[in-house]
Structure 1
Amino acid sequence: MESFVLAGGCFWCLDAVYRTLRGVHDVVSGYTGGATPNPSYELVCTGATGHAEAVRVDFDPEVLPREVVLDVFFTLHDPTQLNRQGADVGTQYRSAMFFTGDEQRELFEAARTRAADWWPGEVVTTIEPLGDFFRAEEYHQDFFAKNPGQGYCLAVALPKVNKIRRSYADYIVA
């Protein structure tokens, strides 16, 4: 089992997408990259904590290759938007990858380089050492499945889930 911690806008979208992939054992929404211990969603939303909304994706690399996990990340959000994803604006919505060691850092750098070939403009995704990861409140966990009719889920998350289903059909849970 391996874990990647990734931030690419609202964690609801990343959570929803990664839960559709074979080999993913768990997705945990949380906060990382800042200085405030045990932050709340309300505090993170102010941008004052330095934390990003992120997900920890626990997966089996024998079933879901590391490169696919990372390519999905760069497919499901726009890594050329600095400190935002669409209408979500602030450093808490930054595009970032949080590594736990040199091997992960190198994998992340290679994925960012691949993504630069797909996206027009500069990829601004940061690659940062993983510090403390704080689990988000329970209502954020698996938010898309719990709230399929919610406006944000329909307008923002669902198109991303559908994009990944089309682009990575070989890895989707049946």
Structure 2
Amino acid sequence: MAQLTELEQRVLREKATEHPFSGRFLYLQSDGVYRCRNCAAPLYRSDAKFDAGCGWPSFDDEIAGAVRRQVDADGRRTEILCGNCNGHLGHVFAGEQLTARNTRHCVNAAALAFTPNSTEGQQVAVFGGGCFWCLEALFQRLIGVDKVVSGYCGGEASKANYPAVCRGDSGHIEVVQIHFTPSVISYGQLLELFFDCHDPCSWDQQGADKGSQYRSVIFAQSEAQHAEALAQKQQRQQHSPQPLVTQISAAQPFYSAEADHQNYYNQHSSQAYCDWNITPKIAKLQQKYADRFK
């Protein structure tokens, strides 16, 4: 059995319900299998997932024999449980006419984990969302991420240096280049965490870091990445009260940052900026994405 966070325990073992729009997987469109977070039993295939607009992951069909139903304690709803470990998943509803199958499994994200279906070799993702120290520290800690390099994108090679970028007029954006294994963590999962780890509604600013070098941007490395990034952004926008300003651009030349900017947090975690900004952010996301962290 998995080591669960406090929220995961309350959901799976005490039948609690997480707050709507607070969990994961709402915008994930990667091909794969959703599993029980407690015992890893396969529960739902990604082609059964749909956006019900309710704030919880929704599926209109389960893997045969994977989900058990029982009348809820209130006598009015049908509870769904993992057929293998009896962990509480959520509730199932029928007759809402939301899909052709006319069924909605309303599942707590905290009850789920995800395994991608992919046979592709290592890929690269490039994201910008504020100081690259922050993004590097976060993505370094993910299972399936093999290497993270801090660097610059969007400007000329002659200006790809920290002093020039910090002036804000070099045309560069601070980014991280993420080398990942798609069979372990999908590009869509990286996007999900990227949108969640910074403010995609803030133009040229993340917290105290101000300037065009801190712009929210995705440099898509392929047409497939561009399409997936655009789809996830559009879906998120439907549920956001503010416009998402994240730019989705074609791949640009990547310039590795200076050596003293690589692996920065791991070497300076007690430094003030790291202590008050990066450490709490990692701790918060580690609770929400516990199964993805090393």
After TM superposition, the score normalised by the length of structure 1 is: 0.95
Structure-1 residue corresponding to 2:290: 169
Structure-2 residue corresponding to 1:147: 268
For residue 267 of structure 2, what is the amino acid of its counterpart? K
Percentage identity across paired residues of the two chains: 38
C-alpha distance in 1 between matches for 2:198 and 2:160: 24
User: Does the 8 A contact of 2:151 with 2:176 survive in 1?
Assistant: yes
- C-alpha distance 32-24 of structure 1, shift in aligned 2 (>3 A): same
Equivalent residue pairs, number? 173
Kindly report which structure 2 residues correspond to 1:20-169, keeping only aligned pairs within 5 A, or say none: 20-37=141-158, 39-117=160-238, 119-169=240-290
Offset, 1:131? 1.5
Offset, 1:117? 4.6
User: Does the 8 A contact of 2:187 with 2:225 survive in 1?
Assistant: no
C-alpha distance in 1 between matches for 2:285 and 2:184: 17
Structure whose alpha-carbon radius of gyration is higher? 2
Higher strand share: 2
- C-alpha distance 107-37 of structure 1, shift in aligned 2 (>3 A): farther
User: Does the 8 A contact of 1:74 with 1:115 survive in 2?
Assistant: no
User: Does the 8 A contact of 1:81 with 1:124 survive in 2?
Assistant: yes
Higher helix share: 1
- State which drifts further: 110-119 or 70-79: 110-119
Q: Deviations over 1:119-173 (max 9, x none)?
A: 4311100011121100001111111100010111111111221122011111110
C-alpha distance in 2 between matches for 1:15 and 1:115: 23
For residue 84 of structure 1, what is the amino acid of its counterpart? Q
Offset, 1:110? 1.6
**RCO higher in structure (CA 8 A, sep ≥6):** 1
For residue 57 of structure 1, what is the amino acid of its counterpart? I
User: Does the 8 A contact of 1:71 with 1:115 survive in 2?
Assistant: no
After TM superposition, the score normalised by the length of structure 2 is: 0.57
SS of alignment partner, residue 27 of structure 1:
strand
Provide the alpha-carbon RMSD of the alignment.
1.3
SS of alignment partner, residue 218 of structure 2:
strand
Structure 1 residue runs of 4 or more that deviate by more than 4 Å after TM superposition: none
Structure-1 residue corresponding to 2:23: none
C-alpha distance in 1 between matches for 2:149 and 2:135: 10
Unaligned runs of 5+ in 2: 1-121
